[in-house]
DNA sequence: GAAGATAGGTGACAGTTGTTCACTGACTAC
DNA sequence: GTAGTCAGTGAACAACTGTCACCTATCTTC
């Protein structure tokens, strides 16, 4: 059946991977919209027509990359949420997990950050849709926390969005930092302090309304 | 001299504007990297070669757009910083000013949000450079506030970056919201509550370090 | 009002793009 | 062992791209 290895399927997957990897490499210095089908095929070492055996067009390939990239990201989000310990520990492991993810899959992360606001509609919607789903997942998790007691569903979601946005911006900052420099640590520290500040706001938040000061 | 009107210079500026506007319109549905010189010229109603009289290439046009767009953004930032009143008032006018800016120049804002992480290096660097400058400007302003007393320069900058990122994300959210819908109000309210939360964190921040709880 | 400057237009070029079609040859299933 | 499936190839196409040298018509300057 289709489950067993099969030298045919194996070669097929290999070519598909070559196309995806070639695209990721090219996307380091351009955006999906300006990526050419022939360009990708050439970089992957296959004929242009072979591209069609795997993807309808570049947009289709883009969506495959979104799925791939956000699978990794989702794993990191879940690991972050599953972390136990006090707030300080959880925040620092969150930053560390993000740093590890960027180190492991820089091209994927760059792709997500870029195409989140990119020029290809369907891909952009795929990314934002997934990030929204992450926000909802985070919100559900926040609801379980004692700190979330008394918060409205809406407030939990707005906090979750803040966390998700911060996560993406941190990823972007890691990408911008030179890989070997101490810039990397600076990004870590800044991200961590921002998380602490948001956390402090969360602790002292008055869910009711604006005019309920200390 | 070159200062007086001059029918020649006038026509020149008119064409230049036509090119910029045509580009902005086309950029609504694609990114700068995939924009063609001929495409822009065609949309502007001029011959392809006329493009060269105004810009070296598309990248050059992009940088002109960055200057233009960030001039507007800068004005909004300054207005926000110059707002007087208590924190609550300042935050809500900040959101209102941002909403007004997006309504007035949606194409410019979309361009900035998109190309901030876009595929054209020099343009991306121009945007991030300017946004960093905004962050420094905000940080200087935060230092003047009584709330900022005792904060290190680094901490002020990390807070300022949080504000600037939040501003850009809010602008993006406004763009995504249907213009006439109540979605627009939802974005306003979410952004405002996020600002309140950050503000609460700022009030209860302990600049010294992590383990200095209440 | 003549001479010069210059914004914009013409036509052409070599190169690239996406897509099509008919094809080859290795693998699979019977 | 043979017939069929199918991933990948090669050549060809019309359309498009950025760039070029050259031309035109209008404004500006003296």
Query: A2 pLDDT band (50/70/90 cuts)?
Result: very low
* A1 domain residue, yes or no: no
Identify all chain A residues contacting B200, using CB atoms and an 8 Å cutoff: 200-201, 204-206
pLDDT above 80 (res A209): no
Rounded distance, CA A6 to CA A12, Å?
Answer: 10
Mean pLDDT across the stretch B77-101? 97
B211 has pLDDT over 60? no
Are B61 and B44 in the same domain? no
Please say if the pLDDT value at position A56 is more than 90.
yes
B213 domain residue, yes or no: no
Q: Is residue A33 part of a domain?
A: yes
How much is the pLDDT for B179?
A: 75
pLDDT level of residue B212 (50, 70, 90 thresholds)? very low
The model's pLDDT over A144-185, given as tens digits with 9 standing for 90+, comes to: 999 998 999 999 999 999 999 999 999 999 999 987 779 999
Residue A48 lies in a domain: yes
Residue B114 and residue B173 in one domain: yes
Residue A210 covered by a domain: no
- From B55, B70, B85, the end of a domain falls on B55
User: B151 and B193: one domain?
Assistant: yes
Q: pLDDT tens digits, residue range B63-88?
A: 999 999 999 999 999 999 999 999 99
Instruction: Read off the DSSP letter of residue A205.
Output: -
All residues of chain B having their beta carbon less than 8 Å from the beta carbon of residue A169 are 165
Let me know whether A97 and A84 are in one domain.
yes
CA atoms within 13 A on the CB side of B4: 3
Domain membership flag for residue B208: no
Question: What's the pLDDT band for B208 if we cut at 50, 70, 90?
Answer: low
Residue pair A108/A65 in contact by the 8 Å Cβ criterion: yes
Q: Which nucleotide is nearest to B11 (CA to C1')?
A: C7
Q: Are residues A99 and A193 in the same domain?
A: yes
Query: Helices marked H in chain A — which ranges?
Result: 7-26, 37-44, 58-82, 87-104, 106-115, 121-144, 153-176, 183-203
Quote the domain boundaries for residue B45: 1-55
* A:B CB pairs within 8 Å: 113
Contact A165 B169 (CB under 8 A): yes
Final residue before a domain boundary, out of A22, A38, A55: A55
Q: Per-residue pLDDT tens for A94-111?
A: 999 999 999 999 999 999
Same domain, A27 and A61: no
Q: List chain B residues with CB under 8 Å of A199.
A: 201
Task: Check pLDDT > 60 for residue B210.
Answer: no
Task: Give residue numbers, 11 to 50 of B, with CB < 7 Å from strand C.
Answer: 11-12, 14-16, 45-50
Q: Identify the pLDDT of residue B206.
A: 81
Sequence-separated contacts (24+) of B144-153 with Cβ below 8 Å: B147/B202, B147/B203, B150/B207, B151/B205, B151/B207, B152/B207
CATH label of the domain that carries residue A150: 1.10.357.10
Structural domains counted in chain B: 2
Residues A46, A86 within the same domain = no
Q: Looking at chain B, which residue has its C-alpha nearest residue A164? A: B169
Choice among A9-23, B1-15, B169-183 with the minimum mean pLDDT: B1-15
Residues of chain A above pLDDT 70, percent = 94
Look at chain A and count its residues: 214
Percent of chain B clearing pLDDT 70 (strictly above): 94
CATH number at residue B37: 1.10.10.60
Same domain, A125 and A65: yes
In a domain, B209, yes or no: no
Same domain for B40 and B90, yes or no, is no
Q: Is the CB of A54 under 7 A from strand D?
A: yes
Are residues B78 and B51 part of one domain?
no
Query: Does the distance separating the beta carbons of A155 and B29 come in below 8 Å?
Result: no
B106: in domain: yes
Residue B9 and residue B63 in one domain: no
Average pLDDT along chain A:
94
Q: What is the pLDDT of residue A213?
A: 40
Q: Residue B11's CB: how many other CB atoms inside 10 A?
A: 10
pLDDT of residue A6: 86
At A72, list the tokens: 């990794």
Q: What is the structure's pLDDT at B137?
A: 98
Domain boundary residue among B14, B36, B55? B55
Q: Work out the number of other CB atoms within 10 angstroms of the CB of residue A147.
A: 14
Across the interface, whether the CB atoms of B197 and A202 are under 8 A apart is answered yes
- A44-58, B34-48, B132-146, B167-181: which range is least confident on average? B167-181
Q: How confident is the model at residue A4 (pLDDT cuts 50, 70, 90)?
A: low
Give, in Å, how far the C1' of C14 lies from the CA of A42: 20
Question: Helix, strand or coil for residue B118?
Answer: coil
Q: What percent of chain B has pLDDT over 90?
A: 88
Nearest residue to A117 (alpha-carbon basis) of B161, B39, B127: B127
Shared-domain flag, residues B41 and B128: no
């Amino acid at each position: 059946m289709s489950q067993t290895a099969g030298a045919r399927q194996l070669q097929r997957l290999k070519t598909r991977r070559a196309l995806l990897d070639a695209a990721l490499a090219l996307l380091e210095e351009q955006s999906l919209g300006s990526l050419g089908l022939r360009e990708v095929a050439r970089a992957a070492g296959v004929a242009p027509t072979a591209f069609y055996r795997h993807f309808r067009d570049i947009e289709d390939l883009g969506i495959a990359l979104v799925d791939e990239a956000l699978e990794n990201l989702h794993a990191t989000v879940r690991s972050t949420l599953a972390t136990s310990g006090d707030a300080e520990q959880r925040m620092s492991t969150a930053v560390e997990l993000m740093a590890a993810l960027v180190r492991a899959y820089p091209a994927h992360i760059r792709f997500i950050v870029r195409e989140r606001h990119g020029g290809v509609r369907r891909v952009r919607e795929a990314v934002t849709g997934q990030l929204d789903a992450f926000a909802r997942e985070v919100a559900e998790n926040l609801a379980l926390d004692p700190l979330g007691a008394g918060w409205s569903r809406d407030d939990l979601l707005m906090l979750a969005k803040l966390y998700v946005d911060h996560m993406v911006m941190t990823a972007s900052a890691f990408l911008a930092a030179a890989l070997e420099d101490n810039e990397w640590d600076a990004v870590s520290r800044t991200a961590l302090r921002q998380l602490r500040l948001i956390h402090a706001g969360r602790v002292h938040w008055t869910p009711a309304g604006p005019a309920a000061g200390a």
